[in-house]
Structure 1
Amino acid sequence: MTQTASLSRSAPSTKKAASVEFRNVTKRYGDVTAVDDVSFTIEPGKLVTLLGPSGCGKTTTLRMIAGLEMASAGQILIGGRDVTNLSAADRDVSMVFQSYALFPHMSVLENVAYGPSVQGASKKDAQAMAMEKLALIGLSGLERRSPSELSGGQQQRVAVARALVLEPQVLLFDEPLSNLDAKLRRRVREDIRELQRSLNLTVAYVTHDQEEALAVSDHIIVMSNARIAQTGSPRELYEEPADLFVADFIGDANILTGILGEPDGAHARVQIGGLSVRLPHRGVKPGPVKLAVRPDAVVLNETASTAGSVAGTVTKASYLGTQMEYEVETPVGNLFVVQYGSRDPIPTGTRVAISLTPERGVAIIPGA
């Protein structure tokens, strides 16, 4: 199978997907708290991403699910069973590491068969199990090659097959695509998502890449400074950020200041300099507020400023094939603007009229 082919479809495992639950879990290393009183649930058969910047605690959280790190406080349950004090070998989980951790002196088949062999399966049975999983991920015919003879995408698939071969209750991914180039990363993440859905796997997935998280996840847990900043679906996090950190971290956002008027049902009008937009007030009281304005919610018009717009000046313009990106200097702040579709670029120095399209992504940020 080539790198661009999709994963082959197969009948789901007979083993039922398991939930993962953290109850007030803390992990300390001496005086340093790496994970601080974290609680969440991963529902059976769902792919949940732990997302955040380096040092936020996401990888430590994943390693505690695996049993590679032990919790300092709290409870960890897998499939309703308390595994807090169980070793990694007793947890029925498998992990795909960032480095893939393939044995260079073993063939692809030997790498995948290694787990069943260690657990006591005969060589014949272990290899049969390995061949089944290699077929599932589309690597039939490559079983005799060494890892060094495979592309990065193929090596990543071998690592997934090795994790799947024991049919774990929970599959864990630690930055699995970080060693791949951008185009291959997109293809392989689609393969992982297809595999997770077709086999009804419970997956915990760690990444610092916001686009990757938005693309593959049923649910995202955003972490910051060892705690959970917000949880929700990709759309909820993008359109309804809970605070400034989430608004700025999930996709690009222009953070602007406005004045919120009196509520009218679930909505209220916000004045942003010369701009006025009607938005869900999200329980925020009237007065000064912060707003997250997504780059494609900003509309640029080269005609003269009109009612409901403010004037600005294009200071930078970048052509990215499918889109144009601009930086625009305005009375309400410097804006990052994205325009999709083929159109003539607006030259730098051009005066433009700026308006907002709220339905494309303008949100009041509670507590900001």
Structure 2
Amino acid sequence: MSTVSSLALAGASKTSKKEAASVEFRNVTKRYGRVVAVDDVSFSIAAGELVTLLGPSGCGKTTTLRMIAGLEMASEGQILIGNRDVTHLSAADRDVSMVFQSYALFPHMSVLENVAYGPTVQGISKKEAYAMAMEKLALVGLSGLEKRAPSELSGGQQQRVAVARALVLEPQVLLFDEPLSNLDAKLRRRVREDIRELQQSLNLTVAYVTHDQEEALAVSDRIIVMSNARIAQTGTPRELYEEPADLFVADFIGDANILDGVVLDQEGSKARVRIGGITLNLPHRGASAGPVKLAVRPDAIVLNEDPSKSTAVSGVVKKASYLGTQIEYEVDSPVGNLFVVQYSRKEPIAPGTPVSIDIMEHRGVALIPGS
């Protein structure tokens, strides 16, 4: 962790006295009147695992997180934490802590008082509560800032205070609700790395909610993608990116060109697939001969402006955007309007330039099952 001393990290595993607990949802539904916010959802989070609930606004991910916390009660189904049925228990009776999007720090309290608030409310002496708070502030790299007010801290530092406050009672499960949404892009990247390293060092069970696909891919052991109050797909970041279960997941996880193709035939686990004049050999994923949809990642498409290297598909560059580490293109072609990313190129191909188009099947091309 960039802001935590090596000494703190070396002793991190010793600071968590409670065992991490698993989380399980069994056919859980949440209704608000006639509105179904979460619809018959089942999943499990292993002890010591970081699982992200990912999806667009209104998909049910935050409601699911709040049901783990006990801030919302399930209308149907069963919720277990550490194999204990907590379905009908209040938030105070569940051994969980939550880091909110707004951080919810008390402005009239110092950093130390904010972190020590939980133990103090539980009846622990002020001296012991402050000692517990100082230990967690050291763990998140905030030693020396304990006397400051929250208003005197940066956004990243405030976020660390919120994490320290959630950790101080050493919960069995730690919950994050869009914890990085108030930070700028560069700080988000640094803080998400801190959260991930802390989670692994302390062997914490974490449920993490975000709508940011890149954030989810970066921090998660597994991701649960939600859509319309249901689970669309569960898997590791690599599985979701390379083997999307349907068009929604393919389009939502990272950027993808959704293209029409035709399965020509199969041999073993592979299928010969035609896109325009390009033929690829891809895992068939249960697809039979005939029309199919494919998810083609932007960096799997190769552009070449040299006529001598023409392929069966050609196109014209419509837009080019230089972004430092990469160049992004919009290309008009017979197989569709393509979004293309090129790395390690200094000069963009000028708009209006004819290009040949090839697709590298090993870089990120997948058949969409049932399409």
Compute the TM-score of the two structures, normalised by the length of structure 1.
0.98
SS in structure 1 at match of 2:266:
coil
Taking the TM superposition and a 5 Å limit, the aligned residue runs for 1:1-368 are 5-6=3-4, 8-9=8-9, 10-12=11-13, 13-304=16-307, 306=309, 308-368=311-371
Return the alpha-carbon distance in structure 1 between the equivalents of residues 311 and 42 of structure 2: 45
- Counting aligned pairs with the same residue, the percent is 80
Superposition deviation, residue 278 in structure 1: 0.6
Superposition deviation, residue 202 in structure 1: 0.3
Q: Contact 1:270/1:277 (CA < 8 Å) preserved in 2? A: yes
Return the alpha-carbon distance in structure 1 between the equivalents of residues 290 and 105 of structure 2: 57
Matched letter for residue 128 of structure 1: A
Matched letter for residue 323 of structure 2: L
Return the alpha-carbon distance in structure 2 between the equivalents of residues 32 and 180 of structure 1: 32
Which sections of structure 2, spanning at least 5 residues, go unmatched?
none
Superposition deviation, residue 308 in structure 1: 4.5
SS in structure 2 at match of 1:21:
strand
Q: Deviations over 1:184-233 (max 9, x none)?
A: 00000000000000000000000000000000000000000000000000
| Shift in CA distance, 6/352, structure 1 to aligned 2, threshold 3 Å | farther
Superposition deviation, residue 235 in structure 1: 0.3
Q: Contact 1:211/1:251 (CA < 8 Å) preserved in 2? A: yes
Q: Contact 2:51/2:220 (CA < 8 Å) preserved in 1? A: yes
Return the alpha-carbon distance in structure 2 between the equivalents of residues 141 and 196 of structure 1: 23
Compute the TM-score of the two structures, normalised by the length of structure 2.
0.97
Return the alpha-carbon distance in structure 2 between the equivalents of residues 314 and 26 of structure 1: 48
Superposition deviation, residue 5 in structure 1: 2.5
SS in structure 2 at match of 1:25:
strand
SS in structure 1 at match of 2:151:
helix
Alignment length, in residue pairs?
Answer: 366
Q: Contact 1:280/1:364 (CA < 8 Å) preserved in 2? A: yes
Superposition deviation, residue 4 in structure 1: 5.7
SS in structure 2 at match of 1:178:
coil
Q: Deviations over 1:135-166 (max 9, x none)?
A: 11010000000000000000000000000000
RMSD: 1.1
Which sections of structure 1, spanning at least 5 residues, go unmatched?
none
Return the alpha-carbon distance in structure 2 between the equivalents of residues 214 and 268 of structure 1: 28
